[in-house]
Chains A and B, each alone.
Chain A
Amino acid sequence: MTTTTLAVLVPLLPFLGAAAGLLLGRTAPGFVRPVAVLPTLASLVLAVLVAARQGGGAAVDAATELTPTGSVPVELALHIDGFAALVAVLVGTVATCVQIYSTGYLREDPRYPSYAALVSLFTSAMLLVVYSGDLMVLLVGWEVMGICSYFLVGHYWETPEARAASLKAFLVTKLGDVPFLIGLFALAADAGSFRITRVLAAVAHGGLAHPTLIALLLLAGVAGKSAQFPLHTWLPDAMAGPTPVSALIHAATMVAAGVYFTARLLPLFEASRAAMVVLAVMAAVTMAGSALAALAQDDIKRVLAYSTIGQLGYMSGALAVGDRSAAVFHLLTHGAFKALLFLAAGAVIHAAGTNSLAAMSRMSGLRDRVPDAYWTMTVALLALAAIPPFSGFFSKETVLGAAEHVTAGHTGHAPGAAGWIVLVAGLLTALLTAAYATRLWLLAFRGRGVEAPDHGRQPLSMTVVLWVLAVPSLALGGFAFRLLPDWFDGTSLAPALTTSVLGTGLALAGGIVTYGAWRHTTALAARPPLGAVAAHPQADAAQVEAEAIASHRPAYGTLAAAPDPADPGRLLLGPLHRHAALGFHLDAVYTALFVRPVRAGASLVRFLDREVVDTYVRGAGAVPRLLGAAVRRAQTGNVQTYVSALLAGTVVLAVAAVLVATGA
């Protein structure tokens, strides 16, 4: 088989798996699990094969035009360069892990067949985005991911949080997708093609008339999909979905799509210095803000969600300084360790019966209940905090190094201001990231209090996956930074000394400060355990999680934070804690800016419809009704009245006829 055929099969197999899963879900439940796992696994194998064949050499390009589509042709095109090949491998790996993990996690869920099919569809859409060489085809995958995320985040649709979160995820990403679509049309109109290669060629020859406008429009879509400020608010709320879905969305698919898209079209963005600065500011605000917010969250998954936003900020920062190798490198390592973090967090939530860090900090021995999750999560948190030699260290240092490179003015394609913004924000975020990683680890695994409940061992499908993902979290960075330049643009990914020392130092400082704060506050943890514990801790993981999420708001009054004096984040953030817990009131701002006007407009339209338009309709109906009532009154039943009317009419007609006949 040619590389093209293999590459076509990669997105096609999960799609077929999804179709089969949806069809077989009710009739043949025994086939659901193989149909969910095997196509994804096969597609992973094929993606690895494609990557091996491509080997970092010249990009594989293939296109076929099914039907003429007007002035700008839409083609089924593949464009597989090193980035695409490796990201596809990452997507395949994470999706396979998630599918295997889900078989254990949603063991008893009655909606597992549709869930697995949607995950397969999601994977297929992401692979389509990764491999597609045509922007319209890419958009198809992009939007399919949007609708799949809506369904998957709303998997526990019995809870109001999940319903609200799925709607929010859909609407906020759509808010970005509309400008994105317009940007794509503008781009195609300028470049004369939807093919990425032709677009890039047009950019290279300066063939774009409005690069800034197009870049900014596209950035809106990227911000929505990749959860960048100010369209990131859907991501923390999307934690209302099942944990494997969170892992899939956050590590490899949905949020990665935006960064990946920007990386693909980076020359386009580089054509506009304004867009690069906007991207840099966006990345910086996202990084620092999300790290602060992560420090204040109580839900373990929300901490990870904000950390995802922050890490995506790093990737956007790398793109803002024009280094897409660094961005995709960080995308790869982050995909591995963030998937691991989420899957391990799922195991922890199952074991603890709660998703609240405040409740976990009052349980002792949780790490003995889930040793696999404990160790792998430790590895992943170290990678997140960018401690050498874990993989996160290398990729993050690449980003910081690229930013530092730009500040020094060595590159012409990125403005120096962008470099400074990214560098400062990145270093600050490194400190904060280490702080919240440490806090998470301490609160989850170093709790004191009652013994954690024992539910027996986690299913094998859940623990094996953790160790599989722990390997790249541990070692991918160290091994890959020498190999990846061959696949990517060729720029060196080796860590620079200055930024390494600076970043690692700040990370260690953040960790130590948090430890100190924790030692200071842990004396307050002697209070009885707080609420937010699942009602059926013996049930399967998915049900435990759903119940834990549902009980969080009744117990603490909010989804995000807990009134826990033992929280070191509260001490560290001080008065900022209250605002950080609520995501710096961005939801309130949105409520004021968008929700209220839209509601007011809706009520205005309702008023106009009911009172104005309906009045005409009712008026139009009232006249015949009045006429009908009048005619009904004439129906007296008195024959003489009828005859009178008849004869009166006859007389009138006769007189009229006579008048006409005589010409009077």
Chain B
Amino acid sequence: MTPALTTAAATAAATPTAADGHGFLSPSGVEIAFLLVGLVTLGAALVTVTTRQLVHAALWLVVALGGLAVEYLLLTAEFIAWVQVLIYVGSVVVLLLFGLMLTKAPIGRSPDADSGNRWAALTVAVAAAAALVWVVVDAFRTTWIDLDGAAAGSTRVTGASLFRNWVLPFEALSVLLLAALVGAIVLSRKAKATTTAPAAAAATPETPATSPSPAAPAADGTPGAKEGAR
């Protein structure tokens, strides 16, 4: 996942120019790289949704999201790739790990990580995958992305388009983030106010001790996510 690899892939992909003459049986270097990273990403994602160790799931998610960042790079979308690394790998996964710990998720193998809905879920997922892949392949099997020339997603290009064409949505989004921030705080505080009474009445002595503690990191963690998103 280095720029060197990216440029290597880019030069490897630079040789075939015509959009039509590219067969699947003679892949370019970028394609091979994309395919390999894609396999890793998909594998990591599959492990994420199937592993029985909850913390491992979060860590495999890091691999999957990182793989995706590489894919962005291969598609010459540099800015997106770094944002991906920053936000997802840097903050979202950390946040999820916090959440896992705050909800006392068991460390190690938990036998009941999957619900009884698994087979229905598998059916639906496989059917959806089959349908999507079929449609996508059917529609785009001859479409060719020309990756030569200037990068399509360099910081300069992206910034220019973002602040030239997308200023208003961008600002609206900041309002949305503010609302999410406030919402997360309100959710945490309200829960705290209502839970103190029943928690104090609860039989277990641990409950009153633990119940205030999750609220504070949650409230703390959410602005952190906001900062990361910005």
Q: How far is the CB of A649 from chain B (nearest CB, A)?
A: 10
How many contacts A-B (CB < 8 Å)?
25
User: Per a CB cutoff under 8 Å, which of A641, A647, A658 touches B128?
Assistant: A647
Task: Write the chain B residue with the least CB distance to A662.
Answer: B138
B117 closest partner in A (C-beta): A640
A526 to B131, CA, bound (A): 112
User: How long is the Cα–Cα vector from A654 to B135 in the complex, in angstroms?
Assistant: 10
- CB neighbours of B123 from chain A (8 A): 648
**Is the CB–CB distance between B117 and A648 below 8 Å?**
no
Interface contact A647-B124, CB-CB below 8 Å: yes
Contacts of A638 in B (CB 8 A): 115, 117
**Interface residue tally of chain B, by bracket?**
10 to 19
B130-151 CB contacts (< 8 Å) to partner A: 131, 135
Main secondary structure of the interface of B (DSSP, over half): helix
CA–CA, A648 and B130, complex, Å: 12
Instruction: State whether the Cβ of A651 lies closer than 8 Å to any Cβ in chain B.
Output: yes
CA distance A588 to B115 in the complex (A): 77
Q: Does A644 contact B (CB under 8 A)?
A: yes
Contacts of A644 in B (CB 8 A): 117, 120-121, 124
With both beta carbons as reference points, the residue of chain B lying nearest to A658 in the complex is identified as B135
Q: Choose among A641, A651, A654, A658 the residue that contacts B120 (Cβ–Cβ < 8 A).
A: A641
The reply to whether the CB of B127 lies closer than 8 angstroms to some CB of chain A is yes
Closest to A647 in B: B124
For chain A, give the interface size range: 10 to 19
Residues from chain A with Cβ under 8 Å of B127 in the complex: 648, 651
- B116's nearest neighbour on chain A, judged by CB, is A638
Residues from chain B with Cβ under 8 Å of A647 in the complex: 124, 128
Residues from chain A with a CB closer than 8 A to the CB of B131 are 651, 654-655, 658
Q: Which residue of A lies closest to B128 (CB)?
A: A651
- Complex contacts, B120 vs chain A, CB 8 Å: 641, 644, 648
Determine whether the beta carbon of B124 is less than 8 Å from that of A648: yes
The chain A residue with its CB closest to the CB of B126 is A651
CB neighbors of B among A610-664 (8 A): 638, 640-641, 644, 647-648, 651, 654-655, 658
Please give, as numbers and ranges, the residues of chain B lying within 8 Å of A654 by CB-CB distance. 131
Residues of A within 8 Å of B135, CB to CB, are 658
B184 to chain A, nearest CB (A): 21
> Closest CB of chain A to B49's CB: distance in Å?
13
* Cβ contacts under 8 Å, B128 to chain A: 647, 651
Contact partners of A641 in chain B: CB under 8 A: 117, 120
Select the residue from B120, B121, B124, B131 with max chain A CB neighbours within 10 A. B124
Closest to B127 in A: A651
A657 to chain B, nearest CB (A): 10
List the A residue with the shortest CB-CB distance to B122: A644
- Distance in Å: Cβ of A420 to nearest Cβ of chain B: 99
For this complex, 23 residue pairs linking A to B, each with C-beta atoms less than 8 Å apart, are: A638-B115, A640-B115, A640-B117, A640-B121, A641-B117, A641-B120, A644-B117, A644-B120, A644-B121, A644-B124, A647-B124, A647-B128, A648-B120, A648-B123, A648-B124, A648-B127, A651-B124, A651-B127, A651-B128, A651-B131, A655-B131, A658-B131, A658-B135
> Which 5 pairs of residues, A with B, have the shortest CB-CB distance?
A644-B120, A640-B117, A648-B124, A651-B128, A651-B127
Tell me the B residues contacting A by CB distance below 8 Å.
Answer: 115, 117, 120-121, 123-124, 127-128, 131, 135
Q: Besides the contacts A638-B117, A654-B131, A658-B135, what 4 more A-B pairs have beta carbons closer than 8 Å?
A: A640-B121, A644-B120, A644-B121, A651-B124
Interface residues of A (CB under 8 A from B): 638, 640-641, 644, 647-648, 651, 654-655, 658
